[in-house]
Amino acid sequence: MECGRDVAGRQRNVRGRDGAGAWDRELYGGLVRLHILHHAATMPIYGLWLIEELRRHGYRIGPGTLYPILHSLEHRGLLRSTVQRDSRAQRRVYVATPKGKRTLVRARARVRELFGEILHEGEG
């Protein structure tokens, strides 16, 4: 899934292997952010784990997409990161801040309301 530019420098829609274009990425981007916040509120998380977790749900997100999202959430005060070192390597680990947890609680209520309507349309 890439977004490219044409020869005039205008953004163009480049489809990924799954057929998703720029609009799909924009549409699902908020859901991915909420998913990241959800996991960061329940346990410490790190980039590679998130890439694998999102892939398990059908989202193919690479480090060049994920790390700017994590940095943005941290910049907004929703996540806090620390560097953990072991004998061979270091890893940046993220956890939800109190503000991030409050944001997640509010978001859950809004998602429940909106998605409840979307998922039940046509029933009944």
pLDDT of residue 19: 57
pLDDT of residue 118: 84
pLDDT of residue 26: 76
- Residues forming a β-bridge with 83: 92
In this structure, the chain runs to a length of: 124
User: What does the pLDDT average to over 54-60?
Assistant: 91
Q: Which amino acid is at 110?
A: R
pLDDT single digits (tens) 3-38: 444 444 444 443 444 556 677 777 788 889 999 999
* Strands of 1-124, DSSP E: 2-5, 11-14, 45-46, 79-85, 90-96
Positive or negative CA dihedral for 122, 20, 73, 96? positive
The structure's pTM equals 0.74
pLDDT single digits (tens) 83-99: 999 888 899 999 999 99
Query: 2-120 belongs to which CATH class?
Result: mainly alpha
| Assigned token pair, 25 | 């990425």
